[in-house]
Amino acid sequence: MRILIFEPDAGGHRLTYLRQLLPALDGLGEVTVVVGEGAIGTEAFRVQLGALRETHRFESVTFDKPASRLGKARARLDALRSAMDLCDPEHVFIPSGDGLAQLLGMPGSRKRLALKPGAQVEVGMHRGSFAYPAQGARDAFMRSLALRGLTRAPIVRAQFVDVLAYEWLCERGHPLARRASVLADPVDPVGPMGKSEARRVLGMPEGGRVIGTSGHLDERKGVDRLLRAFRDADPGEDDRLLLAGRPSPGIRELLAGEFAPMVESGRIVALARYLSDEELSATLAACDVVCTCHPAHVGLSNICLRAAAAGRPVLSGDYGWFERVVGGFGLGWTCRVTDEDVFAGAIRDSLEQSATFEPGPRAGELLAFHSQANARRTFVAHLRDRLGLERDPGLIEWESLSS
């Protein structure tokens, strides 16, 4: 079977997804991976997928990146059509289908895609905004329109990374629920690394308590709020804030200006660069508490899951997926990060409680579901059905956790 993986989004941990999921297709068909123009030459591609270039076919396609969401989706649709011309696929995976998948259900898009008879399309959905409170009437209408498009799209399977979206569909008996499933977010196994060792690896002082966050550092993830809350928490003399990853221009400006004295004194440790998976694991192991403080995030947090896998408690916002998973599976604590006083108090409390923290009794089940092995099983479950192959007996489906 000719299989196409189309990944137009090289940002975030999308290339990590490809590295972790590609092995699931070994022996199931002839695989072609198509990414956006320029992605193959990036540092992220080299780190994540460089080792797979010798064993897999990678191609790239050119597409515009207009400012509007609709414009981006249309550009990706044209790029998908170009990608399909490269390998004439019988089965198409789009791991990051947000926007594009909804457009496929709009009038005229099906004809524009020109799927050949018998070809099937599966999409990974990272955002299920229809399951979250709308911000006004217009936002509610747009979310309804997007869900209608996704429901009408010519796809055989919508694999939702966010369990809130999947559960919302199932609870309401929505027609899309019959073609939906939960795609486990593959979590890298974390080797045994103590705090002292991790801090030595990162060039940090070994003593004291550390609260930190990793990945892209921007305002959407609440890093500006974290900086102010850490300062307002009046931390102990040996307490530090670790920020690991590439900062946005706004966060970089804060570190160079308002918070420069705390950076210079070592109270804030900023590792402002792209991190390899090994370095990312070390940043989590170096922390006493990992903070994922998105103020209004729609979707899952891979850093949160990786922190849990590293045995570190999580302090997160009390919104959406974080409340459902951090609170529901006992991964740590949630708080109202939009309230400066509440957030600062939660930082103080979490650092105090971190030494005696024990994860909830179902945390292990959650991590087993999100293991790399199970993510690969969920990724190809439908394809194996289509090929007449038995599903992996080790497959863990979300229903076993939500029951």
> Considering only CA atoms, which of 200, 204, 213, 246 is closest in space to residue 347?
213
Residues 280 and 202: beta-carbon distance below 8 Å = no
Hey, what are 263's tokens? 């950076």
Percent share of the chain, pLDDT over 90: 69
Looking at residue 12, what is its pLDDT? 60
* Model pLDDT for residues 72-131, shown as the tens digit of each residue: 888 889 899 999 999 999 999 999 999 999 999 988 887 778 888 899 999 999 989 999
pLDDT class of 237 with cuts at 50, 70, 90: confident
CA gap 87, 162 in Å, rounded: 31
Residue 33, Cβ density class (10 Å: 0-12 exposed, 13-18 middle, ≥19 buried) = buried
Q: What is the mean pLDDT of residues 362-379?
A: 94
Q: In terms of DSSP H, where are the helices of 271-339?
A: 277-285, 302-309, 320-322
pLDDT tens string 280-296 = 889 999 999 999 999 88
Q: Is 291 helix (H, G, I), strand (E, B) or coil?
A: strand
Helix (H) or strand (E) holding 141: helix 137-152
What is the Cα–Cα distance from 30 to 19, expressed in whole angstroms? 17
Query: Mean pLDDT throughout 208-229?
Result: 94
Backbone φ and ψ for 162, nearest 5 degrees, come out as -85, 115
Tell me the pLDDT of the chain averaged across its residues.
91
Q: What is the mean pLDDT of residues 123-140?
A: 91
pLDDT surpasses 70 at 8 = yes
Q: What's the pLDDT at 11?
A: 67
Alpha carbons within 13 angstroms on the beta-carbon side of residue 111 total 2
Taking the model in full, what pTM does it have? 0.89
Q: Is residue 3 scored above 90 in pLDDT?
A: yes
Span 160-174, average pLDDT: 96
Could you tell me the CA-to-CA distances from 119 to 23, 28, 376 in Å, in that order?
A: 22, 15, 21
166 within 8 A of 398, measured Cβ to Cβ: yes
Q: Mean pLDDT over residues 251-263, rounded?
A: 96
In angstroms, the first-to-last Cα distance of the chain is: 36
CA 308 – CA 260 distance, rounded (Å): 31
Place of tokens 């090289």: 10
Asked if the model's pLDDT at residue 19 lies above 70, the reply is yes
Answer whether 175's CB lies under 8 Å from 151's CB: yes
**Which domains are seen in the chain, by residue range?**
2-186+371-402 (3.40.50.2000), 195-364 (3.40.50.2000)
Helix (H) or strand (E) holding 274: none
Strands (E) in 131-278, as ranges, are 157-160, 180-182, 210-214, 240-244, 268-271
Provide the Cα torsion 203, 208, 212, 217; round to 10°. -50
For 377, phi then psi, to 5°, come to -65, -45
Residues in the chain: 403
| Tally of CA atoms within 13 A in the half-sphere of 305 that contains its CB | 23
Residue located via tokens 């947000």: 98
Is the confidence at residue 172, as pLDDT, over 70? yes
For residue 204, give the H/E element and its range: none
What pLDDT is attached to residue 193?
83
β-sheet bridge partners, residue 2: 30
* Secondary structure, 3-state, 231-263: HHCCCCCCCEEEEECCECHHHHHHHHCCCHHHH
Spatial separation of the C-alpha atoms in residues 342 and 266, rounded to whole Å:
25
Q: How far apart are the C-alpha atoms of 355 and 333, rounded to whole Å?
A: 14
The DSSP symbol for 325 reads I
